[in-house]
Amino acid sequence: MGILKTFTLGGVHPEENKLSSNTPIEVMSLPDQAIVPLGQNLGAPSKPIVKKGDKVKTGQLIAEAGGFISANIHSPVSGTVLKIDNLIGMSGFRRPSIVINTDGDEWEENIDRSANLVTEISDSSQEIVEKIKQAGLVGMGGATFPTFVKLMPPPGKKADYLIVNGVECEPYLTADHRLMLEKGQEIVVGTKILMKALKADKAIIGIENNKPDAISHMAELTRNEKNITVIPLKVKYPQGGERQLIKSTLNREVPSGKLPIEVGCVVQNVGTVFAVYEAVQKNKPLFERVVTVTGKSVKKPSNFLTRIGTPISKLVEAAEGLPENTGKIIGGGPMMGKALASLDVPVVKGSSGILLMPDEESHRKPESPCIRCSKCTQVCPMGLEPFLLARVSKVGKFDLAENEKIMDCIECGSCQYTCPANIPLLDYLRLGKSKVGNIIRNRKK
Amino acid sequence: MDNIIIISIVALGGIGLLSAVVLYFIKSKFKVFEDPRIDEVEEALPSANCGSCGFPGCRSFAETVVKSAKDNKSIEGLFCPVGGNDVMQNVGKIVGLEVEKTEPLIAVIRCNGTHTNSPGKIQYEGATSCAFTHALFTGEGGCQYGCLGHGDCVDACDFDAIHMNPETGLPVVNDKCTACGACVEACPRDIIELRKKGPKDRRIFVSCVNKEKGGPAKKNCSVACIGCGKCEKVCNFDAITITSFLAYIDFQKCTLCRKCVEVCPTSAIWEVNFKPRKPKPLKPEGSVERNPVPVKKPVTTTDQAKIDKVKVDSKTEENKKHNS
Amino acid sequence: MTMFTISGSPHVHGDESTKKLMYGVVYAMLPAMLVSIYYFGFNAVRVLILAVASSLFFEWLIQKYLIKGPVTITDGSALVTGILLAFNVPTNFPGWMVIVGALVAIGVAKMSFGGLGKNVFNPALVARVFLLISFPVQMTSWPKPVPISKGFMVDVITGPTPLGFMKEGLGAGQTVSQLQAQLPGYVDYLLGQMGGSMGEVSAIALILGGIYMLWRKIITWEIPVSILVTVFVFSGILWLINPEMYVDPVFELLTGGLLLGAFFMATDMVTSPMTRGGQLLFGFGIGLLTILIRIWGAYPEGVSFAILLMNAAVPLINRAFKPRRFGAKPGVVINK
């Protein structure tokens, strides 16, 4: 195979713990009540178009995009709308959500439920983008950026490469891995659809080297495709970050403060690409996704195909129950996931996994003084100095933080992972970023 | 040898004398004329340089005052919260203008989510910064509007006027408060408000900023304001308004009649420094924490020592809690 | 069921800890310690124990009673300072002076700046320089090495270090080859049979320790390599110009506290720069200053002063040398 491609600046090697990589995707049964939050994407929350008492079908539009950077939301079940109320979501805060009492699983008529692979792409580029917009697709890697916006580059900018992100660098998560193994053909068609939408000539599928079966499977499927290449990548966190991925595969560095389109690339998560296939070829909007339920004490680590709005407690039950010694519930992976206060939150479009951490591993070690070892600087993939940024954010020198490029931080957590003194670097970095972000917004006004 | 000593003394002394003369002439030639009243006003100010007047430092405030007095013949709008009315009267005398007396203000903590009223449902570990935890999760008690207890307000105070009480997990404001507004800025949940100190230090306010409906609000905290409206109905002075399930008492209109305090079903309205009334029927046990007995005197040295001890204990408590 | 915990991400942590780093340095110093005990016997043990015990004691005393904060003597940093202090003094140094040295190292150089992580100067070197200036006689009478096979507690015969001998001789007008004939050979420098402090003697033991630390990623190659290369190159140039007036570079590398300084003192994380470029400049500066002091300065040994002087420049170096930012250079820009 030769030397594997990777990014050169920084990176760490957390334990991979891919406990569920050999577990096939299981279809989760419908919840009795679906709680669909209205804020499931980056940007403006969606506006509901149903009200209490309305009957809805699976796949029916129940909320419209609330702005340009926003997405439609479709009902994950069929039944009756119970209420639109403020309920606890993944964020930990009460946010407006639509609650639907499930009654069967009647789908919208125009959705093609057949299992056959549709390879011909009959829609034009504009039609594809419109279908993606109507289907409410967002980035499924966790960032939940509305997909159609990415497919509409600003005038004067063109993408020559589409990069499919099959890296899944977060430990424990295996949803993308299983999706590539089981729905590989659909993903290839989805890739071609996106290439047509972007008018990009070439596509790359980047997969980390700890998924050799996925690499060989996708390579086999794209053997006859001249324009799609599968590139195996060295296992290093955060390989899945879009800037690091572009650097590894194409050796192009996205300039600081700009988007990947500046270097002619658009990056899409492999789950998003699959959803694109379903939306364009089968008219199926986004209302379900694969969620990994995992953890060292979990009896049956699994990958579930779940409807949006299913409470996480149902998923945990299906993985044979909440382990006794659970100390932390994490929505996502251990490096960038969000700790949750309870299991009564619903699955949303960006939920890639639920990690149940045993109590022994759930606590932070005591903080000690910074010994200026510069290990945080050595591992930062963006070339920043976390020790400095955290310190100035803590004392409030936000202009200095801005000059030292705190806004470039991708919040990957490599610095805090490495720090020998257990300093909560990312906590202060996030604080600094939010304050500097506010200052910048106020300046523009 | 003597020669050397004499020569050294004469030479160095001569240089010193020459420098003194030159410097004197330079000082007189390049002297900048400044209104002498600026110095006088600056003298009268407390020299805290805290910025709560809105100007960078006491000198800048003094310059603005004198300029405004000269140009506009009035210093309306210019007020030093730290010095208060006394200092502003002196400043007014210096520039020869009348200064209106303003009501003294004090910082008020509008949350009573103590560890008993709002018991912890989850344990937090990480940076002790309210600004950070505010965005991370609701708070250990579960109320997303309630005090987080990490002390950004304590860190912001320049006057040693606010300290964390480790037993309740809430900050406490003492008499040193100058209403400069630093803690109000620092609190990410807008829990602290500057309100009138009131006659004899008495004030009434709603000790809650929870905007949720009654059910979820009470689930997290037993003394939350549920927006039932009883206080609004009983107020004869139109001082209370209810918005988003939260009552607010306008301190300009409030006459301290105490009727609202009696009718509040969750004891969310606080009366501070009043004489205790006749005992009332008991509220559900364990859930009510009434405000403390009236404090009749200003803080003495023993009180100060207690507060200092609370400050030190709370810091080590905080360190212990968050480092375990 | 216990209450769940909530915190910001990341929720996992790597293996690194301050304690592991510090104790790693201690293990790296073991070969040098053993060699010193072999050559200097009981005195080496005495100085080591005194230096370590008093460093730990003073740190405990200051943290508990002066600062009234948490006591952290088990984190290994005072232990490292104590051992390095012992490495910097002659083994026949009076005990009470060792204790004074420990007080200066911990109390003045470390604690008064704010404790671990906040000191500007390397504590062991501050103590060494303090002792050198306060007790110049005792600090410059170096015992001759006596292998342990000849006895553990022998009387100490003192003499100059090779560097000291060379400097004095050159100053008196003798040539390098005349002087080198009277000194032990390179093999002795490598193994440790030469006069000097505990940390100066065995080059191999120190190099072994250095390799161990590089392998464990406790230190990085930039500082030791830049120091040694700079010293080698500069002394090499001088030696090529006049081999009878200037000693050859290998001699410069193997004698004196250069190896100790390059691997253990200059690489102290708290007092060295944070970025690669900064570290290379730091090492270059130390190497240059060492040669300047050794050849034209008043002292025969210049490493301690060189390191302390460069420590003072570190905050400026940190401001000047920033890491390479990702995306700073446009590189390939398809779209303008």
Q: Give the distance from residue C26's alpha carbon to the nearest chain B alpha carbon, in angstroms.
A: 27
Single out the residue of C220, C211, C299, C212 nearest to residue C257, CA to CA. C299
* Pair (B122, B79) in one structural domain: no
Confidence band, pLDDT 50/70/90 cuts, at residue B310: very low
Stated as kind and residue range, the H or E segment containing A355 is strand A353-358
Q: C-alpha distances in angstroms, B243 versus A96, B229, B249?
A: 18, 10, 11
Single out the residue of B248, B212, B217, B109 nearest to residue B168, CA to CA. B109
Identify the closest residue of chain C to A14 by CA–CA distance.
C14
Q: What rounded mean pLDDT belongs to chain B?
A: 83
B6: how many CB neighbours lie within 10 A of its CB?
Answer: 9
B86: how many CB neighbours lie within 10 A of its CB?
Answer: 11
**Distance between CA atoms of residues A311 and A388, nearest Å:** 41
Examine residue B135 and state whether it is found in any structural domain, yes or no.
Answer: yes
Q: Give the distance from residue A431's alpha carbon to the nearest chain B alpha carbon, in angstroms.
A: 5
Chain A interface, best mutation among C13, C16, C321, by max A CB count within 10 A = C13
Examine residue B196 and state whether it is found in any structural domain, yes or no.
Answer: yes
**Distance between CA atoms of residues C235 and C242, nearest Å:** 11
* Pair (B90, B232) in one structural domain: no
Identify the closest residue of chain A to B120 by CA–CA distance.
A341
CB-CB neighbors (< 8 A) of A384 in chain C:
323, 325
For helices C18-40 and C203-215, give the axis angle rounded to 10 degrees. 170
Q: Give the distance from residue B324's alpha carbon to the nearest chain A alpha carbon, in angstroms.
A: 6
Q: Which residue has the higher pLDDT, A403 or B78?
A: A403
CB-CB neighbors (< 8 A) of B131 in chain A:
431, 434-435
* Pair (B76, B173) in one structural domain: no
- CB-count exposure of residue C96 (10 Å: 0-12, 13-18, 19+): exposed
Chain B interface, best mutation among C7, C67, C72, by max B CB count within 10 A = C7
DSSP C107: I
Identify the closest residue of chain B to C7 by CA–CA distance.
B125
Test B136 with C5 for CB contact under 8 angstroms: no
Identify the CATH number of the domain in which residue B66 sits. Answer: 1.10.15
Q: What's residue B78's pLDDT?
A: 81
- Going along B153-310, which residue ranges are E strands? 162-165, 170-173, 192-196, 203-206, 240-243, 246-249, 269-272
* Pair (B50, B155) in one structural domain: no
The lowest-confidence range among A63-67, B33-37, B292-296, C292-296 is B292-296
Test C3 with B124 for CB contact under 8 angstroms: no
- Going along chain B, which residue ranges are E strands? 105-109, 123-124, 162-165, 170-173, 192-196, 203-206, 240-243, 246-249, 269-272
Contact (Cβ atoms closer than 8 angstroms) between residue C263 and residue C25? no
For chain C, the chains sharing at least 3 beta-carbon pairs closer than 8 angstroms are A, B
Q: Is the pLDDT of residue B282 over 70?
A: no
Test B121 with C3 for CB contact under 8 angstroms: yes
Q: Which long-range contacts (CB under 8 A, 24 or more apart) does B298-306 make?
A: B298/B175, B299/B174, B299/B175, B299/B176, B303/B174
* Pair (B314, B248) in one structural domain: yes
Contact (Cβ atoms closer than 8 angstroms) between residue A235 and residue A133? no
- The tokens for A424 are 């909560």
Single out the residue of B14, B299, B20 nearest to residue B163, CA to CA. B299
* Pair (B61, B208) in one structural domain: no
Examine residue B112 and state whether it is found in any structural domain, yes or no.
Answer: yes
Identify the closest residue of chain A to C217 by CA–CA distance.
A375
Test C8 with B121 for CB contact under 8 angstroms: no
Test C8 with B136 for CB contact under 8 angstroms: yes
For chain A, the chains sharing at least 3 beta-carbon pairs closer than 8 angstroms are B, C
Q: In the β-sheet with A73-74, what is the strand arrangement from edge to edge?
A: A47-48, A61-64, A73-74
Test A93 with B131 for CB contact under 8 angstroms: no
Domain architecture of chain A: domains with CATH: 25-106+287-361 (3.10.20.600), 125-282 (3.40.50.11540), 375-444 (no CATH)
Q: Which of C3, C7, C70 sits opposite B126 (nearest CB)?
A: C7
- The tokens for C107 are 């109390």
Test B125 with C5 for CB contact under 8 angstroms: yes
Contact (Cβ atoms closer than 8 angstroms) between residue C89 and residue C102? no
Q: If you average pLDDT over residues B132-148, what whole number do you get? A: 91
For chain A, say whether C319 makes contact (Cβ under 8 Å).
no
Residue by residue, DSSP assigns C252-304 as: HHHSTTHHHIIIIITT-GGGS-SSHHHHHHHHHHHHHHHHHHHHHSSSS--HH
For chain A, say whether B216 makes contact (Cβ under 8 Å).
yes
CB-CB neighbors (< 8 A) of B312 in chain C:
none
* Pair (B86, B147) in one structural domain: no
The complex's ipTM works out to 0.90
Partners of residue C1 on adjacent β-strands: none
**Distance between CA atoms of residues C180 and C121, nearest Å:** 35
Examine residue B144 and state whether it is found in any structural domain, yes or no.
Answer: yes
Q: C-alpha distances in angstroms, A43 versus A65, A147, A360?
A: 10, 12, 37
- Predicted confidence pLDDT, tens digits, chain C (336 residues): 568 999 998 999 999 999 999 999 999 999 999 988 888 888 899 999 999 999 999 999 999 999 999 999 999 999 999 999 999 998 889 999 999 999 999 999 999 999 999 999 999 999 999 999 999 988 888 887 777 777 676 666 777 788 888 888 888 887 878 777 777 777 777 777 777 788 777 888 999 999 999 999 999 999 999 999 999 999 999 999 988 888 888 888 888 889 999 999 999 999 999 999 999 999 999 999 999 999 888 888 889 999 999 999 999 999 999 999 998 875 555 554
Q: What's residue A403's pLDDT?
A: 93
Examine residue B29 and state whether it is found in any structural domain, yes or no.
Answer: no
Test C274 with A385 for CB contact under 8 angstroms: yes
Range of the structural domain that residue B79 is part of: 36-95
Domain boundary among B95, B123, B142: B95
Q: What is the largest CA-CA distance in chain C?
A: 84
Q: Which of A94, A364, A424 sits opposite B144 (nearest CB)?
A: A94
- Predicted confidence pLDDT, tens digits, chain A (445 residues): 468 899 989 999 999 999 999 999 999 999 999 999 999 988 899 999 999 999 999 999 999 998 999 999 999 999 999 999 999 888 888 899 999 999 999 999 999 988 899 888 888 999 999 999 999 999 999 889 999 999 999 998 999 999 999 999 999 999 999 999 999 999 999 999 999 999 999 999 999 999 999 999 999 999 999 999 999 999 999 999 999 999 999 999 999 989 999 999 999 999 999 999 999 999 999 999 999 999 999 999 999 999 999 999 999 999 998 999 999 999 999 999 999 988 999 999 999 999 999 999 999 999 999 999 999 999 999 999 999 999 999 998 999 999 999 999 999 999 999 999 999 999 999 999 999 999 999 998 7
* Pair (B84, B112) in one structural domain: no
* Pair (B214, B272) in one structural domain: yes
CB-CB neighbors (< 8 A) of C70 in chain B:
319
Q: What's residue A1's pLDDT?
A: 47
**Distance between CA atoms of residues A199 and C99, nearest Å:** 76
Q: What's residue C313's pLDDT?
A: 96
Contact (Cβ atoms closer than 8 angstroms) between residue A62 and residue A38? no
Q: Which of B127, B138, B213 sits opposite A93 (nearest CB)?
A: B138
Test A334 with C10 for CB contact under 8 angstroms: yes
Chain A interface, best mutation among B123, B129, B150, by max A CB count within 10 A = B129
Single out the residue of C109, C145, C114 nearest to residue C128, CA to CA. C109
Q: Give the distance from residue B318's alpha carbon to the nearest chain A alpha carbon, in angstroms.
A: 12
* Pair (B138, B184) in one structural domain: yes
Amino acid at C125: L
Q: What's residue C214's pLDDT?
A: 96
Tally of structural domains, chain B: 2
Examine residue B57 and state whether it is found in any structural domain, yes or no.
Answer: yes
DSSP B29: H
Test C8 with B124 for CB contact under 8 angstroms: no
Contact (Cβ atoms closer than 8 angstroms) between residue A441 and residue C32? no
**Distance between CA atoms of residues A136 and A127, nearest Å:** 14
Partners of residue A355 on adjacent β-strands: A294, A330
Examine residue B220 and state whether it is found in any structural domain, yes or no.
Answer: yes
- Going along chain C, which residue ranges are E strands? 5-6, 142-143, 158-159
Test B122 with C8 for CB contact under 8 angstroms: no
Q: Which of C3, C8, C70 sits opposite B122 (nearest CB)?
A: C3
Q: Give the distance from residue A383's alpha carbon to the nearest chain C alpha carbon, in angstroms.
A: 4
- The tokens for A280 are 């364009």
* Pair (B83, B195) in one structural domain: no
Contact (Cβ atoms closer than 8 angstroms) between residue B204 and residue B260? yes
Examine residue B24 and state whether it is found in any structural domain, yes or no.
Answer: no
Partners of residue A305 on adjacent β-strands: A27, A290
Q: What's residue C333's pLDDT?
A: 54
* Pair (B74, B125) in one structural domain: no
Chains A & C: contacts with CB separation below 8 Å = 180
Q: Give the distance from residue A418's alpha carbon to the nearest chain C alpha carbon, in angstroms.
A: 6
Identify the closest residue of chain A to C333 by CA–CA distance.
A263
Q: Which of C6, C8, C70 sits opposite B123 (nearest CB)?
A: C6
Amino acid at C185: G
Pairing of strands A265-269, A161-166: parallel
